[in-house]
Chains A and B, each alone.
Chain A
Amino acid sequence: MSDVKQLKHLEHLEDEMLNEGVAGCKKIVQDLQAVRKILGCKGGNAGFLQTKWDGKPAVICGKDPANGFFFVSTKGALNKQPVCCYGHTSIDDNFGKIPDLADKLKQCYDHFKPLGIKGIIQGDLLFVKGAPFDKGGVGSEMIDGVDHWTFKPNTIKYAIPKKHPIGKEVAARRIGVVFHTHYSGPDGRIHHKQLLSELSDKPGIRGESLNASNTVLNIQNDTPVADIGFDHSEEVMFDQTVKEIESECKKCGPFLDELVGLGGGKGNPKGEEKFHIAPYVKSYFNDEVKPKSESQVTANIDQTITQLLAFYDKKMTKFISGYKNGNTIAEKKKLVGESVLFVANHTTEFKALLKLYKKVQSLKQQIIDKLNPLEKDWKMFAKSDSATFETTSHEGYVLHRDGDRVKLVNRLEFSKFNFLFQ
């Protein structure tokens, strides 16, 4: 899974093959097998799933090992030069230029400090009372004839009936948050004066026993998988597809490794790798789900290859337009042209790769579809245009296995909403 020390970025399940080649393929199969155990008839202890909440901002808080003071911050706390705020003045000093964020961090400071956090934890903010609705506050709305509390911290608007126990808590509390991660050093502890940048993230906040609070609504995000499970026919189908994926991984493996060797696993290629198509396969898949993309998500593999090449060509044309000398342009164009021919000469391998990628995506979607009804008390909406909200589902789920994690997200749907108003 993703080689992350700290929770800054989670990888999509299907991207692991592009990131790590054969090793990534193996991880995908192992992850799917873990999900099978978690959701299977017999259950199992292969890992656990957390629901991804679309909160904002991400807040990191706890006791600073450097001085023992309680601090709040954003992901900036994990920087080599950590940004930690120990009170309102400190928040103004660091975040005063972004007043909305500073106000939220002040509320976090006031309400999270009494929780008695002993270590360092991370959460996503869901709402802050007093803020306007469009800045992360709480609203009231009739939905299907039922009175709901609503809040929209980021892209998704969440709604919970006012009479639901959680709805009553929304009414009573000042701030809503999903704490989902804690940090510790290599030995599982945080030592005095240990640098924040040396800490690693771990899922959940199980080690923390937070003080009861009348002002904080802490939403539990462990996905309640005990409530559901595959039936026998679903299990058989799932197992069969995983086997197919495993078999296709073996076929695609060497080519995937070749792509990784050519820079495929890198998000920010340098030197000659910058001109090879390998690093752009992953960015193509991120692009094709955007509403303004010139590509279309399609099951047609030939069309996908054509779109991938067009996407790459457009990027390269832009890069090369920065050069003025004809001979230099020829040199760069040669790298690009050879890369295009690399695809043309490996169409069988590319088609197999794309087919495998889409098969993993499809199975992932089946898992998401199975999990989505679990959070049945909540309603989720996202804007489909400038005015209309349409029903959606949770942002996705995070699978935790052997200390690693990977995200299961319906990229098409979530990305559509996520990018629509950027």
Chain B
Amino acid sequence: MTTSAPPPIYATAVFAQNKPGALLSIPPLAAATTFYVDAGRVRTADGRELLILDVEARARVADALVRDLASVFVVETGPLGFVRDYPIEPARSL
């Protein structure tokens, strides 16, 4: 019997010319969630990792998360545009 990690959520990283921080756009999710940040990684409450495939963009987002968590936004985007935003918080202590 094997176990597998939950599938990642692939994000589009969006950087604004005039503003610090980043906007992470994800496809529609089946259920609302909160994203938690831990050691530069962003995960849902049930462990799905929000993945930025581009190495440089990932590093820039990690930097923004360290500098000011409130400057990073996770938004759900559908074919028609913005759908909703999700909370992003520091990882909960166990």
Q: Do A and B bind each other?
A: no
